[in-house]
Structure 1
Amino acid sequence: MTLQLLSLTLAYDDTRFFGSVMFTDPAHPDDKSATVLVDHADEPPWFRLTNVDPTAQDPTAPAMAEADRIMRFLLRYTPDRIGRTQADFPQP
Structure 2
Amino acid sequence: MLQLLSLTLAYDDTRFFGSVMFTDPTHPDDNPAAVLVDHTDEPPWFRLTNVDPDGQDRSVPAMVEAERIMRFLLRYTPERIGRTPADFPQP
Structure 1 stretches of 4+ with a deviation exceeding 4 A read none
Shift of 1:35: 0.1
Alignment of 1:12-51 (within 5 A): 12-51=11-50
Aligned to 1:75: 74
CA separation in 2, counterparts of 1:34 and 1:84? 29
Shift of 1:28: 0.5
Q: What is the CA deviation profile of residues 15-70 of structure 1, one whole-angstrom value per residue up to 9, with x for unaligned ones? A: 00000000000001110000000000000000000000000000010000000000
- Sequence identity of aligned pairs in percent? 84
CA separation in 2, counterparts of 1:29 and 1:15? 37
RMSD, matched Cα: 0.2
Aligned to 2:90: 91
Structure 1: unaligned runs, 5 residues or longer: none
Q: Normalising to structure 2: TM-score of the pair?
A: 0.99
Q: Secondary structure at the match of 1:36?
A: strand
CA separation in 2, counterparts of 1:72 and 1:86? 11
Q: Normalising to structure 1: TM-score of the pair?
A: 0.98
Aligned residues: 91
CA separation in 2, counterparts of 1:41 and 1:16? 8
